[in-house]
């Protein structure tokens, strides 16, 4: 591909993207395809000779979009959003063209310094204390892994990386059963072991950790010769928005010298709105916090903001400086590869910079406030509908409900309803379990959603429920 061909096809790809986004409402939200159907359209062997771009692009258009679940669809109400505002897509194109490896300051000074500045912008927007410093991780999973490794090393007096875990005291980490599965995975990868992730029972309407049970578990572990290391607090859990009392959790941690990591991957974005900050009151006492601009702030995946009260502990846990990675003659520079598990780093800060400037905090606040208001309005209507029951009240824009049915049949009926709704294609939902019973999650988060999209979901659910109930 020469320069002229590159200009042509790059422009063609952008035009395709604009047309795709404009036509999303006409597409089913979830991929309407069977397993293996896409693979059967591809040759079994790689091509020996070059193929024309016209053919490649035509195959893309024919095969790929029908086989995709459309995460930018305005009626995507499943999981959490993974928004990509158009300005973020433009920034991603520029990032792809620069094709920089941003592991060190010297390999990409602009990437490093823009990351430092825009994360401080975001810190200010969230109302976090000035002492916090941020780094962009690929996902909340990586931020949580870094936090768990830091908990481990801090508790072991920085001997785990050097000596290994054999012969060390048994490290313990505490969290409720409402935290994301990435916490479990971090515990595995850190070598702590699943059995040493202590599950604390939850209580109250927000399903936060029972603080008495948390303190009792820490005391019991110390008395048994185990080594309490840290607590993972939850703000806006994936299932139904479970939220711990962050201030109280931090107070317990302070009494016992434990590290606190706050997982606010989805809900943290809403903290740019001051009226929602009661959800994480006391967060300035935490050691680390993660939230994902690539969920509810419209920044193209992947872009996860990891804030640290004392970055030196993370750097001490992760940094390795062979001679070829040292920055000579530059004092005081930040090499963000020392703040992350991967050495390689993309220029993720560019898209956050573009979004914050193009929409402004007020534009983003308006979007989030609308989503919350529309979700609450829909939840109220579902609570009044005779065929449905509201299972959990909205936490920001997330709530759970179920179709009423005979006790023994309720789980099956609701799973059938989710399948039927998603096969219908007009909206997309996911299921969860609340107190052991199946419930249906509904969250509003698409940047393209309108009030009509959200309110119209009830009509779809009623129509499909009528078919499911026969």
- pLDDT attached to residue 323: 45
What is the Cα–Cα distance from 23 to 17, expressed in whole angstroms? 10
- pLDDT attached to residue 97: 84
Q: How far is CA 435 from the centre of its chain?
A: 24
pLDDT band at 459 (very low <50, low <70, confident <90, very high): very high
| CA quadruple 12, 13, 14, 19: dihedral sign | positive
| Longest Cα separation, the chain | 75
Mean pLDDT of 187-195: 93
**415-457 confidence digits (pLDDT tens):** 999 999 999 999 999 999 999 899 999 999 999 999 999 999 9
What is the Cα–Cα distance from 438 to 252, expressed in whole angstroms? 33
pLDDT of 327 higher than 60: no
CB 236 within 8 A of CB 399: no
pLDDT of 406 higher than 50: yes
pLDDT of 408 higher than 90: no
What is the Cα–Cα distance from 220 to 224, expressed in whole angstroms? 6
Tell me the average pLDDT of the chain: 92
**7-49 confidence digits (pLDDT tens):** 999 999 999 999 999 999 999 999 988 899 999 999 999 999 9
What is the Cα–Cα distance from 462 to 464, expressed in whole angstroms? 6
Mean pLDDT of 402-413: 87
- pLDDT attached to residue 241: 93
Number of Cβ within 10 Å of residue 233's Cβ equals 31
- pLDDT attached to residue 321: 66
**Three-state SS for 353?**
helix
**Three-state SS for 409?**
helix
**Three-state SS for 260?**
strand
Q: How many helices (H) and strands (E) would you count in the chain?
A: 14, 13
**Among candidate residues 233, 234, 265, 188, the one with its CA nearest the CA of residue 443:** 265
Angle made by CA atoms 270, 254, 187, in degrees to the nearest 5: 70
**Three-state SS for 112?**
helix
- Backbone φ and ψ for 259, nearest 5 degrees, come out as -85, 140
Could you give the C-alpha distances from 10 to 90, 97, 112, 300, 350, in angstroms and in order? 12, 11, 27, 19, 20
**Three-state SS for 252?**
helix
- pLDDT attached to residue 389: 94
Number of Cβ within 10 Å of residue 26's Cβ equals 6
**251-288 confidence digits (pLDDT tens):** 999 999 999 999 999 999 999 999 999 999 999 999 99
15: exposed, middle or buried (Cβ count in 10 Å: 0-12, 13-18, 19+): exposed
What is the Cα–Cα distance from 354 to 362, expressed in whole angstroms? 15
Residue 267 C-beta-side C-alpha neighbours within 13 Å? 31
Residues of the chain above pLDDT 70, percent: 97
pLDDT of 217 higher than 90: yes
pLDDT band at 107 (very low <50, low <70, confident <90, very high): confident
Q: Which two tokens stand for residue 114?
A: 């823009």
269: exposed, middle or buried (Cβ count in 10 Å: 0-12, 13-18, 19+): buried
What is the Cα–Cα distance from 30 to 109, expressed in whole angstroms? 41
Residue 413 C-beta-side C-alpha neighbours within 13 Å? 19
pLDDT band at 409 (very low <50, low <70, confident <90, very high): confident
pLDDT band at 468 (very low <50, low <70, confident <90, very high): confident
pLDDT band at 322 (very low <50, low <70, confident <90, very high): low
- Backbone φ and ψ for 88, nearest 5 degrees, come out as -70, -35
Mean pLDDT of 216-234: 96
**Three-state SS for 259?**
strand
CB 70 within 8 A of CB 76: yes
- pLDDT attached to residue 109: 86
CB 116 within 8 A of CB 308: no
pLDDT band at 331 (very low <50, low <70, confident <90, very high): low
């Amino acid at each position: 591909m020469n320069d002229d061909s590159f200009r042509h096809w790059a422009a063609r790809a952008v035009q395709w993207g604009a047309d795709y986004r404009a036509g999303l409402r006409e597409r089913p939200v979830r991929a309407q395809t069977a397993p293996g159907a896409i693979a059967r359209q591809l040759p079994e062997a790689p091509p020996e000779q070059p193929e024309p771009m016209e053919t490649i692009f035509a195959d893309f258009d024919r095969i790929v979009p029908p086989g995709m679940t459309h995460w930018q669809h305005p009626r995507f109400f499943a999981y959490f959003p993974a928004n990509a505002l158009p300005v973020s897509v433009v920034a991603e194109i520029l990032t792809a063209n620069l094709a920089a490896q941003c592991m060190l300051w010297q390999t990409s000074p602009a990437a490093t310094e823009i990351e430092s500045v825009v994360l401080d912008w975001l810190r200010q927007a969230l109302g976090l204390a000035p002492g916090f410093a941020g780094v962009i991780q690929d996902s909340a999973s990586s931020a949580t892994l870094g936090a768990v490794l830091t908990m481990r090393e801090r508790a072991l007096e920085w001997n785990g990386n050097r000596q290994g875990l054999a012969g060390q005291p048994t490290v313990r980490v505490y969290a409720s059963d409402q935290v994301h599965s990435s916490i479990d995975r971090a515990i595995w990868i850190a070598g702590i072991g699943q059995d040493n992730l202590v599950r604390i029972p939850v209580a109250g309407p927000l399903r936060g950790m029972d603080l008495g049970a948390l303190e009792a578990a820490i005391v019991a572990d110390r008395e048994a010769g185990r080594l309490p290391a840290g607590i993972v607090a939850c703000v806006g859990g994936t299932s139904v928005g479970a939220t711990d009392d962050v201030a109280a959790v931090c107070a317990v941690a302070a009494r016992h010298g434990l590290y606190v990591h706050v997982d606010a991957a989805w809900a943290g974005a809403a903290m740019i709105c001051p009226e929602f900050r009661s959800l994480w009151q006391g967060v300035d006492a935490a050691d680390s916090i993660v939230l994902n601009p690539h969920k509810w702030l419209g920044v193209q995946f992947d872009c996860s903001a990891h804030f640290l009260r004392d970055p030196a502990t993370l750097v001490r846990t992760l940094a390795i400086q062979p001679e070829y990675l040292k920055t000579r003659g530059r004092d005081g520079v930040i090499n963000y590869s020392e703040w992350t598990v991967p050495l390689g780093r993309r220029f993720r800060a560019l898209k956050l910079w573009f979004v914050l400037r193009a929409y402004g905090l007020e534009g983003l606040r308006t979007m989030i406030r609308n989503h919350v208001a529309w979700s609450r309005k829909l939840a109220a209507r579902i609570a009044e509908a005779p065929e449905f029951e509201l299972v959990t009240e909205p936490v920001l824009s997330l709530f759970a409900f179920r179709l009423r049915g005979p006790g023994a049949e309720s789980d099956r009926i609701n799973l059938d309803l989710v399948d039927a709704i998603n096969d219908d294609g007009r909206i997309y939902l996911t299921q969860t379990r609340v107190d052991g019973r199946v419930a249906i999650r509904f969250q509003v988060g698409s940047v393209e959603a309108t009030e009509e999209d959200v309110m119209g979901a009830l009509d779809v659910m009623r129509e499909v429920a009528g078919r499911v109930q026969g």
